[in-house]
Amino acid sequence: MAKSKNYKKKKPVAEPGAAAEVLKSDQVPEPERGQGDGPRVQGLKRGTLGRLGEVAVNYLQVNLDRMPAVAYHYDVKFVPELPKKFFRLAFDKFRVEHLGGAVAAFDGRASCYSVEKLNCRSQGAEVTVSDPYGRKLKYAVAIMETADPEVDLNSLRTYMRDRIYEKPMRALQCLEVVLAAPCHNKAVRSGRSFYQLSEPGKVHSLENGEEVLFGLFQALVLGDRPFVNVDITHKCFHLAMPVVEYLERFQMKSKITAQTNLESRRSDIDAHLKGISVAYEPPKSFLSATRVYKVNALTQYPASRQAFNCDGTKVTVAAYFKSRGHALRFPNLLCLHVGSPQTSVYLPIELCRIEEKQALNRKDSKVQSAGIVDIAATSTNARKVKILELLRHFDYNADPTISRFGFRLNTDFIVVQTRVLDPPLIQYRNKASASVRNGLWHIDRSQFFDSRPKAHKWAILHPGMNYNKMRDFEQFVLSHSGRVNMSLAPKAEIRTYTDAKSLDPSFKEFKAGQYDLVLVVIPNSGNFYDKLKQKAELEYGILTQCIKQATVERRCNGQMVGNLLLKMNSKLNGINHTLKADTAALPKNVMFVGADVTHPTPEQREIPSVVGVAASHDAFGASYNMQYRLQRGALEEIEDMESILTEHLRVYCRYRQCYPEHIMYYRDGFSDGQFPKIMNEELLGMIMACLQIGIKPKICCIIVVKRHHTRFFPSGCPSESNKFNNVEPGTVVDRTIVHPNEVQWFMVSHQSIKGTARPTRYNVIENTGRLDIDLLQQMTHNLCHLFPRCNRAVSYPAPAYLAHLAAARGRVYLTGTTTFASPQQEYKKRLIDPALSSKNPMYFV
């Protein structure tokens, strides 16, 4: 690993003007060891396997012919520093009044870019702007050169022409700000997307006071040249309306009267209103303008009883307003505590309205997620039409800022070459096989590849359901298990429970009786699942399989039980299916490792991040064990990789009686700029673990990236067999839209059930075994067919998918805890029962 820190940079061997030809051949530079931002290359080979085709991609060509060689970067400061939402108005006025109307691209916060030097002498010049309610706001604006003011825009040309290794990040950041210029006056920004406000009659309203808006995502990306990636996005926004109307429509479901009390709905109302901006419209008798405040929470008491200090005297909110000539219509309603949490500013709900243009910045609820999926699940054809419609709306090429920076955007998607890889053959017991068609296959009369011959002792726990129904369910499971050669004892112990605490006696007895599996029917709502898993896996070491009560009552059919048995067999150390040897494309004696880190939401920073690492321990890449860890919130890299891999190697050796010659490491959840952390932290930890044992396996590290906006748009129309007109599973793109100097490809390995398929992007950042690109791509595609919980290809490889499940299980162990010590202390409190993880390593599936 130490060698990778002192590599020599070499330029690719290519004649001037040969860049376009490189993409037409199969030979593009070959990997050389790299540091941080990907392998350095001298002759990268692209993939050759599969049926050739072509597909449109939501990338726009960028014409840079008239772009100047240099732009200038300036810092912009505002006094006062709040409110920030009017900075753009203030800067625009400052630009006209004090910079001679110079064209400059402003990021809305603290930076601007110009292709000409700006006059920085007008320091602290004052400008006045108005808010939507006519209030005057004064800002003193100062502009000054940054420490390194010149931005080399020419680096985007040399990147394209000379294939330099360093990514021109400063130039990209500059053009990102320029690219946003035409959008700010026509849409609301959230992240990198710009959302159109709903037109009358076209509101996609949800049942909770929110609506779903369409937005256009845009980002400059680097392929064999710079492109602009554009995509449709969807986000929940708060519906603008009086707060009283919100309560009537979405909370109380009835008209508000003078007697209405909100106590019964307090928590739900608080959850919705907390953190959003409301416009307070004072009564006419106050002779003051509308003001905007941020809501902290509902007050403890209604307006008739909520008191505050007014000129040294305690007075209620209702009495205060009455003393100033306005009697409240709804004195029994709680008030809104707004402004600084330390101040006592209480506003009557009846005088407040929810402001428009407010994106929902907390995690989507199930209602929101379902609403977005229903609206967003369109065919590729409909998605493309909507994207092109938004591009026409923003009309980039007509914008003076974009014109001044000298670049133009094409108005249609680029077309790239594709290859469709063949799927593997699925292997079952007694050499029976199944063919994969369109990403899925049927088990038909085949049996699980491997299941334990002993009759597993099992039990069923249920929350007081009909006894005869549970006996029928038992027999249904037994009959289907026999068909797939999974051996269960002919009779299950069936018992009831009332709550998590009532599980203790049964679990103690099942543990003493050496039961192999407990099937638990869980209530449809609440977090009973989390409590159950904590009790079973941390406290008793009992293997459990959960199923929802509604599923048993309403959907107890062959398909459901078949899916249930897939999980049960895996947990009981069986193998559901493997890949036929001559189509598997697996290196000899390989351990597949997947890793993921899940983070708390922004408002839960005191909660630790959870690391999940899954590793195979069989000859097929079908059986896995898992390790989880807790670490500092928001930390991306895995701190404890050395001890994690040491344990995985120990398990591998126990099952295989040898150590792996190859480690294939699929790392999920990392963004491009963080690749150096993988090289310098995680791979180093893996190497140290191997050195401690005295082995030197070849390591290949592939970053699995799902959070991107690249989409494929095939020609043709939706059909009965392809309702959303997606590309075929196995479609690979590794030319044009990938970085010219990195081993990278996009792949759609699955059939999208709903909407436009999202390809997964793979970046190879380490490959000490020099595995061929065709092998890496085919193996990665094949691993998408080894996820044990379903008979279909999934969107990314099984090791990474199982690592996600491992991290999710670690998150389950944190449920119910409100205060946390150090991550290491919290982890020690939640150690998985060693007997369970040893006997049933796939208990987490």
Domains and CATH numbers, the chain: 241-354 (2.170.260.10), 451-571 (3.40.50.2300), 589-816+823-830 (3.30.420.10)
- The pLDDT of residue 25 is above 70: no
Query: Strand runs (DSSP E) across 617-733, as ranges?
Result: 624-631, 662-668, 698-705, 712-713, 731-733
- Angle formed by the axes of helices 683-693 and 641-656, nearest 10°: 50
Nearest Cα residue to 495 out of 515, 480, 481, 476: 515
Tens digit of each residue's pLDDT (9 = 90 or more) over 799-812: 999 999 999 999 99
Predicted confidence at residue 442, as pLDDT, reads 94
| pLDDT per residue as tens digits for the range 656-667 | 999 999 999 999
- Helix, strand, coil shares of the chain as percentages rounded to 5? 30, 30, 40
The pLDDT of residue 72 is above 70: yes
Residue 729 has pLDDT above 80, yes or no: yes
Give the per-residue pLDDT at 596: 96
**pLDDT value at residue 118:** 93
Query: Residue 682 has what DSSP assignment?
Result: I
| Residue 27 pLDDT greater than 60, yes or no | no
Residue 75 has pLDDT above 90, yes or no: yes
Are 624 and 614 in contact by the 8 Å Cβ rule? The answer is yes
Number of H helices, E strands in the chain: 23, 40
Per-residue pLDDT for 537 more than 50?
yes
Q: Are the C-beta atoms of residues 41 and 32 closer than 8 Å to each other?
A: yes
% residues pLDDT > 70 (the chain):
92
Instruction: Annotate 416-437 with b (16+ C-beta within 10 A) or e (fewer).
Output: bbbbbbebbbbbbeeeeebebe
Given pLDDT bands bounded at 50, 70 and 90, which one contains residue 504? very high
How far apart (Å, rounded) are the C-alpha atoms in residues 688 and 683?
9
Mean pLDDT, the chain, rounded, equals 90
Instruction: Name the β-bridge partners of 538.
Output: none
- Which band of pLDDT confidence, cut at 50, 70 and 90, is reported for residue 165? low
87 burial class (0-12, 13-18, 19+ CB within 10 angstroms)?
A: buried
* pLDDT over threshold 60, residue 254: yes
pLDDT of residue 375: 81
Question: Of 610, 630, 623, which Cα lies nearest the Cα of 651?
Answer: 623
Q: Does position 19 have pLDDT exceeding 90, yes or no?
A: no
Q: What is the pLDDT of residue 201?
A: 61
Residue type, 671: S
pLDDT of residue 705: 95
Find the radius of gyration of the CA atoms of the chain: 30
Give pLDDT tens digits for 105-145: 999 999 999 999 998 877 789 999 999 998 899 999 999 99
Measured in whole angstroms, the distance separating CA 340 from the mean position of its chain's CA atoms is 32
Q: In the predicted model, what is the mean pLDDT of residues 553-559?
A: 89
Q: Is the pLDDT of residue 160 over 80?
A: no
Separation CA 435–CA 359 (nearest Å): 46
Euclidean distance between CA atoms 636 and 678, whole angstroms: 9
CA dist., res. 764 & res. 318, Å (int): 66
- Rounded to 5°, the CA angle 112-117-118 comes to 65
Dmax of the chain from CA atoms?
88
Alpha carbons 727 and 714: distance in angstroms, whole number: 6
- 805: which 2 tokens? 């499940």
Residue 4 has pLDDT above 70, yes or no: no
If you ran DSSP here, which 8-state letter would residue 430 be given? G
Q: What is the pLDDT of residue 480?
A: 95
Are 299 and 266 spatial neighbours (Cβ–Cβ below 8 Å)? Answer: no
pLDDT tens figures, 222-244: 998 899 999 999 999 999 999 99
Angle at 188 between CA 186 and CA 191, to 5 degrees: 130
Q: Give the torsion sign (CA, 145, 147, 148, 151).
A: negative
Type of residue at 278: V
pLDDT the model gives residue 23: 29
Q: What is the mean pLDDT of residues 278-307?
A: 95
Identity at 429, one-letter amino acid code = R
pLDDT digits (tens, 9 = 90+) for 30-48: 333 333 333 334 458 899 9
- Give the bridge partners for 295, in sequence order: 338
Q: Hey, is 95 helix, strand or coil? A: helix
In contact, 141 and 58? CB cutoff 8 Å: no
Contacts for 359 with CB less than 8 Å, ≥ 6 apart: 188, 190, 195, 235, 236, 237
pLDDT of residue 42: 45
Q: 736 vs 222, 741, 799, CA distance in Å?
A: 9, 12, 28
Q: What is the pTM of this model?
A: 0.89
CA gap 384, 741 in Å, rounded: 30
Element containing residue 127 per DSSP (H, E): strand 125-130
Query: What number is the average pLDDT over the span 713-734?
Result: 93
Chain segment 586-614, per-residue pLDDT in tens: 788 999 999 999 998 766 778 999 999 99
* CA–CA gap between residue 276 and residue 294 (Å, rounded): 6
